[in-house]
A = this chain, B = another copy of it.
């Protein structure tokens, strides 16, 4: 489940960039935390272990990895959320987010359910949905059951 450092070093250098300790730490931490992580949460974690690392470095590092395609960025209510990007051949073709308005939990939705919907939007509206364009707010199963009125 963890990223292989060598591959990453290769990927980074392939683009003519450098693999600094800071970047390794940022990526490692994001990987350890798993799932979707706020910049704030990630910085807190990183900063706990390496207080010298600056917030701006975290932002720049995440941005950098996002451009390399190693992490994925999502905008949630004005704040950025990052996650490790799975290998393209795994589930890369459909990656959308279900965000629980109560507990903030973020899940993925992919596959048929979405494709059928996207197909209709293209047919009926001529609208081509982005591969990563869907962010759906609502109540997850737990919060939904908890809030049963």
Contacts and interface: CB of A to CB of B under 8 A. Distances in A.
Given A133-B136, A135-B135, A141 B116 contact: no
Contact of A129 (B107, B116, B125, B137): B137
A109 B121 contact: yes
A126 B147 CA distance: 13
Interface residues of A, number: 32
A50 interface: no
Contacts of A129: 136-138
A140 to B, nearest CB: 6
Interface of A: 75, 77-78, 98, 100-101, 107, 109, 112-114, 116-117, 120-121, 124-130, 133-141, 144
28 contacts: A78-B78, A98-B125, A100-B127, A101-B130, A107-B125, A107-B127, A109-B121, A109-B125, A112-B120, A113-B117, A113-B121, A116-B117, A117-B117, A125-B141, A126-B140, A126-B141, A126-B144, A127-B136, A127-B138, A127-B141, A127-B144, A128-B138, A128-B139, A128-B144, A129-B136, A129-B137, A130-B139, A133-B138
